[in-house]
Amino acid sequence: MHFAFNHKDLLVGILLVLAVAVAALGIHYLLFRFLRGRQHTTRGRWGIRKYLARPSLAILFAIGVRIVLPFMARIPEEWLAWLEQFDECLLVVFAGWLAVGGIRIFHALFLSRFDVTAADNLRARRVHTQMQFFRRILIGIVLLLDAGALLWTLHDERLWKIGTGLLASAGLASLVLAAAAKSTASNLIAGMQIALSEPIRIDDVVVIQGEWGRIEEITTTFVVVKIWDERRLVVPLSYFIEQPFENWTRRRSDLLGTAFLYVDYTVPIEPLREQLKRIVSATPLWDSRVCVLQATNLTDRSVELRCLVSARDSAQCFDLRCLVREQMIGFLQANYPSALPTLRLSKLSEAHGPENAAPAVHHAP
């Protein structure tokens, strides 16, 4: 079909598109100004502008174009039907985009009541872990439904025939895909188990493969562990179901920490015990639960003293152990320097004769 736009029709079309853009921007501005006021009233950080601003503007523009298309002069019916179908497909895509943003806002709004930085954050970490997993599941469902709706809007029987043929001939392919997706399926099931049974949660302190770190992110297929030196350890979800690991914050975050001292037999233990109490009493790292100094082992050269102290979490426990070591060593240096590790040399008795005299080595701790 042959046709041509004249300058007047082209100008009218441009003006209509510009009018739609201006109207969409105006409605978008008023709507988000109202929502921003509501957000300040409720004192919440929902991320409305971050997650909804762009998809809502795109939807408003697509709706406006759909309204003004019939007013476009001298557009053939075939072209008009094609443009309307294309605009309808865009509306479906933008609606899915908006729905994903809505899920993210609901996620942020729900989790705003649970602060993982609080001292007692067990429930908050549990809720954050479960909501993170279910958010990804919901987003996946929305994307699947949006793809189905997009195919439905095409109104093309050929696409449905092609899809039916593919499904009918997918017997062998399904076996191949099942074998290829075995690890993915196991990780997905492991993710559901983790969300419900909670062997790990967001911000849990774990020791895995000899590395100490915190659970930073739990996806549908893997877990990101933030190592103490800022490295990231990426572990499949199934690992936490099938392999043993240490979780230092499974029920509570408080821990016991040890600092070992190796001293001479001549050192009195009671003054060291009193010094340990003074050290922990003067620091906020100690949670006032446990402060014990005991002789836990004896060797032919030294006495092993264990300083057992408690702290609110693993980070404070590590700092407290270092503090105890440093100040206990300083106390020994100032008051019992002979108890510190030394190497002693002495001569054998002269009674054996000068020809038999030889240095002897005695090891102090």
**Distance between CA 155 and CA 340 in Å, rounded?**
87
pLDDT tens digits along 42-60: 444 556 777 778 888 888 8
pLDDT tens digits along 210-253: 888 998 888 877 889 999 888 999 988 888 888 888 888 877 77
**pLDDT for residue 283:** 94
The percentage of residues in the chain with a pLDDT greater than 70, rounded to a whole number, is: 70
Q: What is the mean pLDDT of residues 250-257?
A: 83
Q: Which H or E run contains 28? A: helix 7-42
Q: Are 46 and 105 in contact (CB under 8 A)?
A: yes
C-alpha distances in Å from residue 277, one per residue of 265, 291, 297, 309, 340:
22, 7, 21, 10, 21
Q: What are the φ and ψ backbone dihedral angles of 21, each rounded to 5 degrees? A: -60, -45
**pLDDT for residue 181:** 52
166 CB contacts (<8 Å, ≥6 apart)?
none
Q: What is the mean pLDDT of residues 92-104?
A: 86
pLDDT tens digits along 338-362: 888 766 666 655 545 455 544 444 4
User: Helix, strand, or coil here: 114?
Assistant: coil
CA dihedral over 334, 336, 342, 348, signed as positive or negative: positive
Q: In CATH terms, is domain 182-247 a member of 3.30.10.20? A: no
pLDDT tens digits along 178-203: 554 555 566 667 667 777 777 888 88
pTM: 0.51
pLDDT tens digits along 273-321: 999 999 999 999 999 999 999 999 998 888 999 999 999 888 899 999 9
Q: What is the mean pLDDT of residues 318-342?
A: 90
**Distance between CA 335 and CA 329 in Å, rounded?**
10
Higher pLDDT: 237 or 34? It is 237
Greatest mean pLDDT range, 16-20, 27-31, 112-116, 255-259 = 255-259
Greatest mean pLDDT range, 93-102, 110-119, 192-201, 306-315 = 306-315
**pLDDT for residue 296:** 93
The percentage of residues in the chain with a pLDDT greater than 90, rounded to a whole number, is: 21
Residue spans per domain, the chain: 7-164, 182-247, 255-341
**pLDDT for residue 163:** 46
Q: What is the mean pLDDT of residues 324-339?
A: 92
Q: Which residues of 194-233 are buried (b: 16+ CB within 10 A; e: fewer)?
A: bbeebebbbbbbbebeeebbbbeebebbbbebeeeeeeee
3.40.50.2000, 3.40.50.10470, 3.65.10.10, 3.30.70.100: CATH of 255-341? 3.30.70.100
Cα maximum dimension of the chain: 128
**pLDDT for residue 348:** 55
As a whole number of Å, the end-to-end CA separation of the chain is 101
| 74-78, 133-137, 226-230, range with the lowest pLDDT | 74-78
User: What tokens does 46 get?
Assistant: 């929902």
**Distance between CA 119 and CA 123 in Å, rounded?**
11
